[in-house]
Amino acid sequence: MYLMILGAPGSGKGTQGKLLADHLGIPQVSTGELLRAAVKNGTPLGRQAKGFMDQGLLVPDDVILGLIREILDSAEAQRGVLMDGFPRTVAQAEAVDRILAERGGRVDQVALLEVDEEELVQRLLGRATKEGRSDDNLQSIRQRLMVYQEQTAPLVAYYDGQGVVRRVAGMGSVEEIQERMQKAVRA
C-alpha cells in the first residue's frame, strides 16, 4: 500500500505517520528527516538542500524526485510505504503517479491532517524550544505556512479528483488523533 500523509507544517505528520506505519507494518519515509540527516552529514544532497530548508522554501522537485526513486527501488519499500512530507507540489504528485504506474502501483490513500492555523504556529514555536530545529523560527514558520498554502494545499483537490483523500481532525491528544487515523485509513 502506498499511503501519503498530507498536512501543514506542525500538523503532526511525523508523529502520526510513525505510529500509523507501525500499525500497518509498512516503512515510514519522511523526506524532511532524510534531508535533515543529509544536511547533518554534509552529503551532496544535504549541500543542495540546506539553503532552501533554512529559508523555509521547498527543495527543488528534481532533487526530491531523485530521492523518491531511490526509496521506491529499495527492497524495504516493495510491500508499500507511508510517506510524510511528500509530495509537496502537484508536479511531485504527478511524477510519483508516473513512477508508481511504471511499477504497477498507485497512491492508494492520502490521510489529510486538518489543524487550525493558530494551533500550528503554537506547536511549531513549542517544537523550536524543545527540538531546536534550525527552521523552527518565526520567520521560517510564517514562510513555510505560506509555501504550504500556495504549493501544497492544491494537492488536496488533486487527490480528491482521484477519490483517495481521508480527512482526519488533527486536534486533540496524540492517541485520539491516531485512533481517528487508523479508522480513516483502510489497511
Active site members? 13, 88, 127, 133, 144
Query: Smallest distance from the beta carbon of 52 to ligand AMP, in angstroms?
Result: 5
Query: Smallest distance from the beta carbon of 108 to ligand AMP, in angstroms?
Result: 19
Asked if 12 is part of the footprint of ligand AMP (rule: CB under 6 A), the reply reads no
Dist. CA 62–CA 65, nearest whole Å? 5
Site for ligand AMP in 124-163 (CB under 6 A): 135, 144
**What is the torsion angle, in degrees rounded to the nearest 10, for the CA atoms of residue 70, residue 72, residue 77 and residue 81?**
120
Closest CA to 133 of 20, 35, 7: 35
Residues 6+ apart with CB under 8 A from 11: 113, 114, 115, 120, 170
> Which one of the spans 80-88, 104-112, 157-165, 167-175 is the region binding ligand AMP (CB under 6 A)?
80-88
Site for ligand AMP in 164-183 (CB under 6 A): none
Instruction: Give the H or E element holding residue 2.
Output: strand 2-7
Query: Smallest distance from the beta carbon of 84 to ligand AMP, in angstroms?
Result: 7
The footprint of ligand AMP (CB under 6 A) covers: 9, 31-32, 35, 52-53, 56-59, 64, 85-88, 92, 135, 144
